[in-house]
Amino acid sequence: MSYKFIAFGAGQCSSVLPFILNDYNKIIFADTGWEHPLTYEWIEVVKKLFSEKFVHIKTNMPNISTHPPICTKEYKILPIRRYLRSIGIDKAIKYLGYTFEERNRIKNNDILWIENKYPLIKMKMTRKDCQKYLLDNLGFVPLRSGCTICKYNKGIKFEKVLTLEEWIK
């Protein structure tokens, strides 16, 4: 039997997964140390709501914002794999929070013992659908996730807290 986990990025789309999926063992968040302070507040809420299922891996990524985008693999994917191996997992299903408009990102995992699954794509949920779900069920929408030092996070205004109307756009 496969160990099932949510690869939690703490953004709008992966934040929907713990609420809509029933069959998973853990919610795993690999923390680079560079999320927005409001994202860390949201993570604390999720930890309280799903305390027995939440795993917080601190990866302490250095400020490497000028390097190629290797950060996701080095400071999120590989630490999660090491954690899974450390608890004896040899077969896993990884739930990713990619939305329907990101379906071009679907790919098999590069290792055979982890199978990627895309429940939001299967349900044809868009980012706006995720935002609406969170707003309707939680009363707010968390920030889009991403390291505050990353030059590839174009268009994300970390310094500004968005209004509900701005979230929905």
3-7, strands of its sheet edge to edge: 54-58, 26-31, 3-7, 92-95, 114-117
The secondary structure of residue 124, as a DSSP letter, is T
Question: 11-15, 125-129, 144-148: which has the minimum mean pLDDT?
Answer: 144-148
Yes or no: say if 102 and 15 are a contact pair by the CB < 8 Å rule.
Answer: no
Q: Which amino acid is at 124?
A: K
Is residue 86 a contact partner of residue 59, using CB atoms and an 8 Å limit?
A: no
The C-alpha atoms of residue 109 and residue 66 are separated, in whole angstroms, by 27
Q: What is the pLDDT of residues 77-122, one digit of tens each?
A: 999 999 999 999 999 999 999 999 999 999 999 999 999 999 999 9
Q: Is the pTM of this model over 0.85?
A: yes
Asked whether 42 and 143 are in contact (CB, 8 A), the reply is yes
Other beta carbons within 10 angstroms of residue 23's beta carbon come to: 7
- Please check whether residue 89 is in contact with residue 8, taking contact to mean a CB–CB distance below 8 angstroms: no
To the nearest whole number, what is the mean pLDDT of the chain? 88
Q: Among the residues of 4-161, which ranges form H helices?
A: 17-20, 37-49, 71-72, 78-86, 119-122, 127-138
CA atoms lying within 13 Å on the CB side of residue 128 = 5
Q: Is 14 helix (H, G, I), strand (E, B) or coil?
A: coil
List domains and CATH numbers for the chain: 3-168 (3.40.50.620)
Cα–Cα distance, 149 to 71 (Å, whole number)? 11
Most confident of 38-42, 61-65, 68-72: 38-42
